Amino acid sequence: MNRLQGTECAIGAVSSRVAAWEAQLAERQPKLPNADLASLSKGAGTALEEIGRDVGEVSARLRWLVEQVNGNLGRPTTAQIEYIGIYDRRVRDTQPKLDALWKGDLAKLNAGLPAAGLAPLQPD
């Protein structure tokens, strides 16, 4: 798999994970019994929105770049190759943010959900 394909796969994986967690949070949000859990849920939702926006921006820029490369009869330029690397790093930098969110606020939220009669969030 080349770098471009790897970046596109990483975008899909992050986007899927963000969407799944956002849906799970939205389902539980109105049922949360106290302000502490509601605050954790809201903070996690905000963090997910930021990550989703960033990955969406990278995805749009990458699509534009792919169109430019595909429209060129020659090899990609050095700048185009560099930008693919930049976008790849930006997407891969979201993974530690998602992991930290899962181990931080979402873990705290999950710890309180069973007492409220709600199922814990699923990792994916």
pLDDT tens-place string over residues 41-52: 999 999 999 999
Mean pLDDT value across the chain = 92
pTM, full prediction: 0.88
Of 124, 121, 98, 122, nearest in space to 28 by CA: 121
Q: Tell me the per-residue pLDDT of 1-40, one tens digit each, with 9 for 90 and over.
A: 577 788 999 999 999 999 999 999 999 999 999 999 999 9
- CA dist 68 and 88 (Å) reads 17
Lowest mean pLDDT among 68-82, 90-104, 106-120: 68-82
